[in-house]
Every structure is written in C-alpha cells, then in structure tokens.
Amino acid sequence: MPPYDRGVTDLSQLPLRDSLRGLSPYGAPQESVRVAINVNENPHSVPEQVALHIVEEVARQVPGLNRYPDREFTALREKLAAYLGGGLTAANIWAANGSNEIMQQLFQAFAGPGRRVMSFTPTYSMYPLITKGVDSEWVPVRRHDDFTLSRELVVEAIERERPDVTIICTPNNPTGTATPLEVVEAAYDATDGILIVDEAYVEFQGPGASALSLLEGRPRLVVSRTMSKAFAFAGARVGYFAADPVIADAVRLVRLPYHLSAITQAAAGAALDFAPLMLEQVDAIRVQRDRIARGVTALGYVAAPSAANFVLFDGVPDSHRMFERFLERDILVRDVGIPGTVRVTAGTTAETTLFLDTLADITDRDGVAPATLGKAQATR
C-alpha cells in the first residue's frame, strides 16, 4: 500500500479564518521533569481522605453513564454557592470545564464579530486567543510600570476604547499584582459592557479581597473562579463564575449541551464536600511564595509583589537562556515573554530549596542584568 499522501502540510494551505492566521496555540511546556514549577499548579496532592470520597462519588455515576448528565448540574452549583457564601444561590453560579471555557462562553455570549475585548497587559495569555477565537477585536492597555492598575488608568481606557467586554485579572497572571476593589467599582461604573473579574488566584491573596462583595446591584459584573489552583484540582478541569442569574441565562444560549460530564460533576462536588481540608495547604504555599521573593531578592533580582502562588522576578540577562539552564537541571520555570523576567510557581519546601539553590548557581555563571521591571512589557 502506498504511503498516505497528506496533501495539505501546514495551516497556510487551509481556508482558515483570516482572524486566526499567524496565531500560535497556547503551549506551556509539558516536560517530564523532576520539578515542574512553571504553570502555577498546586504542588500538593489531593488528600487521601478526599481522594477516597471522590472515587466513591464517581463510582456511583458509572452505572448510569449510558444517560446524559444533569444539564444544569444543579447539585454542583448549590455546593459552589455554599462554598462562596455571601448569600449566593445556585442561580448565581455557572460552571464549565476550567475557567478558560468560562471565558470562552462569556465571550461567545457578549463579544463576537464586530465587538471589542479589553484587558490590561501584561496579563493572561489566553485572553487574546479566546478573543480571536470568537472573532472579536483584542484591545490591550498597558498597566502602570509597576504592573498596578489605578482608577484613573482603568476609567480613561474604558471611556476611550468603549469595550464590550473588559477583563481585570486579580491577582494578575503573570505578575501576581492585586487590584483594589475600588478600581473594580470604578471600572464597572465606567462601562456599559460586561466586566469580568478573573479571580483564579484569589484564595492566595487572603480573606476580604474578592469582588464577590460587589455583585449585588451590578448585573453586568462577573466574578470568575477556578478549582485548579488553591483546590489542587487542575487535572479535573473545573471553572465557575458568580454573577446575576441573568448572566447564566445568557451563557445557556451558547454552551454545548451537557457540557459538564457526570464524572466531572461528581468529582467537583465531592472535593467541595471537603473544602476546608482541600484549602489547608494555601498558607503553606504563601510561605513558599514569600520565601522565593526573598530568595531572588537576596541574589540581586527584583521580585514583583505577588498576591498569587507564583513570583515574577526581573534582572534576568536572557529569559530563554535561564529557562534552558533550569531545564538542563530537570526543573521547569516559565519565560512569560516579558523581557528580563522569569516566573516561578511556589512549590513544596523541597522544590523551593532546589529552585533557589539552582538559581544561585545560574546567577554565579550568568550574572544579574539591570532591573527594568515594568519598563518593557509584552502585550500578552
């Protein structure tokens, strides 16, 4: 049999949408290494007690997998509402396969062709990709040089650009910067569109920091969350948002039928049954985050203040070279595209020790560059 003739060998030969040409897919390295501290995962395994409960709840679903799952995933929404508190009910909650799908569904409902999505850069690299995926215009607005957001900057940008969807990521990825609630309030008041506050890392910031407290009376405000980070549930792919019930009604227009499997619903619900236990490691992760910040500073780098579970540090002579040097030592860190910087996730105590010892050795070889934190920013 002759070999299969592929015919088409690259995307340029396909009738791809013009708005997708030249884009690169999300591609954080997934290497088999001793220490992976590059994608902000929780380094701690699901506790055995919780794991057994999850297995039991998933097993209950297996005999009925010939039937579609609960399309409204009511039990999970009730548990998520109970976890968030503040008088929220299942009607305020929506969930999907990770917070990326949450964003995609919100963009499908409120963005789309001829509309504009704005955020403040550098920020999460998936925002422009999801924006292009729904054929909207991506509008990046540069943060202050220290990566913070002020009322004046945000309001001026919204009034100038008139976006249909505005995103504030807080704590911000990849910088770890927290945004005060008064800035979120000002952003909401300035826009006629949807305001999404992406709080994927908010549990690491501490109590009282969430925009959930602003939801009442603000029907165009959406607070996005994930179970991937603080809940150590990245492999389960569960994201959710809290908002006025009418936002969930809008998302129902674009979601795929039965988009959350019975297995996913059962696993997430079982994890939420043990929410306090699942979150016990948050304080320990904060300790390692702060230890990393002190350690890189002692070596001559400049650490951006972080309220998340990672640290971005400046003063790196060559970001890609440092990434390669760590990889040679079986450690994955992240070159996020901001010149002179590297981002590292807070790992276990042993992982942090290994990272800092390795960084000290690399620094002895390559030195430290003049810090330019915030001066030259990537647009993604």
Residue 116 in any domain: the answer is yes
Rounded average pLDDT over 331-360: 97
Rounded average pLDDT over 76-91: 97
pLDDT of residue 187: 98
pLDDT of residue 371: 76
Residue 12 in any domain: the answer is no
Whether residue 173 is found in the same domain as residue 269: yes
**pLDDT exceeds 80 at position 38:** yes
Residue 366: which pLDDT band, with cuts at 50, 70 and 90?
A: confident
Whether residue 87 is found in the same domain as residue 185: yes
Whether residue 218 is found in the same domain as residue 339: no
Maximum Cα–Cα distance across the chain: 68
The C-alpha atoms of residue 23 and residue 129 are separated, in whole angstroms, by 8
* Cα distances (angstroms) measured from residue 2 to each of 5, 6, 8: 8, 12, 17
Whether residue 293 is found in the same domain as residue 234: no
Residue 96 in any domain: the answer is yes
- Which long-range CB contacts under 8 A does 70-75 form with residues at least 24 apart? 70/262, 70/265, 71/257, 71/258, 73/260, 73/265, 75/265, 75/269
**pLDDT exceeds 80 at position 40:** yes
The total domain count for the chain is 2
316 close to 322: Cβ distance less than 8 angstroms: yes
**pLDDT exceeds 70 at position 103:** yes
pLDDT of residue 206: 83
pLDDT of residue 18: 85
Whether residue 185 is found in the same domain as residue 321: no
Whether residue 272 is found in the same domain as residue 240: yes
**pLDDT exceeds 80 at position 6:** no
The C-alpha atoms of residue 237 and residue 239 are separated, in whole angstroms, by 7
pLDDT of residue 4: 58
Residue 2: which pLDDT band, with cuts at 50, 70 and 90?
A: low
Per residue in 304-321, pLDDT (tens digit) is 999 999 999 999 999 999
pLDDT of residue 266: 98
Query: Which of 250, 277, 304 is the last residue before a domain boundary?
Result: 277
* Cα distances (angstroms) measured from residue 33 to each of 156, 174, 176, 330, 332: 45, 22, 25, 5, 7
**pLDDT exceeds 80 at position 379:** no
Segment holding 198, helix H or strand E: strand 194-198
Write the CATH number for 100: 3.40.640.10
Whether residue 233 is found in the same domain as residue 318: no
151 close to 183: Cβ distance less than 8 angstroms: yes
Total Cβ atoms within 10 A of residue 66 = 5
Per residue in 185-228, pLDDT (tens digit) is 999 999 999 999 999 999 999 888 899 999 999 999 999 999 99
**pLDDT exceeds 50 at position 374:** yes
pLDDT of residue 55: 98
pLDDT of residue 208: 80
Whether residue 214 is found in the same domain as residue 311: no
The C-alpha atoms of residue 275 and residue 83 are separated, in whole angstroms, by 7
Residue 33: which pLDDT band, with cuts at 50, 70 and 90?
A: confident
Whether residue 298 is found in the same domain as residue 285: yes
Whether residue 219 is found in the same domain as residue 309: no
The SS3 of residue 370 is coil
Residue 3 in any domain: the answer is no
Stronger pLDDT, 295 or 380, i.e. the higher one? 295
pLDDT of residue 367: 86
pLDDT of residue 20: 84
Residue 117 in any domain: the answer is yes
Query: Which of 277, 297, 331 is the last residue before a domain boundary?
Result: 277
303 has which bridge partners? 313
pLDDT of residue 373: 67
Per residue in 135-165, pLDDT (tens digit) is 999 999 999 999 999 999 999 999 999 999 9
Residue 26 in any domain: the answer is no
Write the CATH number for 340: 3.90.1150.10
Query: Which of 277, 293, 322 is the last residue before a domain boundary?
Result: 277
Per residue in 231-261, pLDDT (tens digit) is 999 999 999 999 999 999 999 999 999 999 9
Whether residue 116 is found in the same domain as residue 245: yes
Rounded average pLDDT over 33-50: 95
Residue 201 in any domain: the answer is yes
Per residue in 224-237, pLDDT (tens digit) is 999 999 999 999 99
**pLDDT exceeds 70 at position 323:** yes
Whether residue 217 is found in the same domain as residue 351: no
Residue 142 in any domain: the answer is yes
Q: Quote the domain boundaries for residue 295.
A: 31-44+280-366
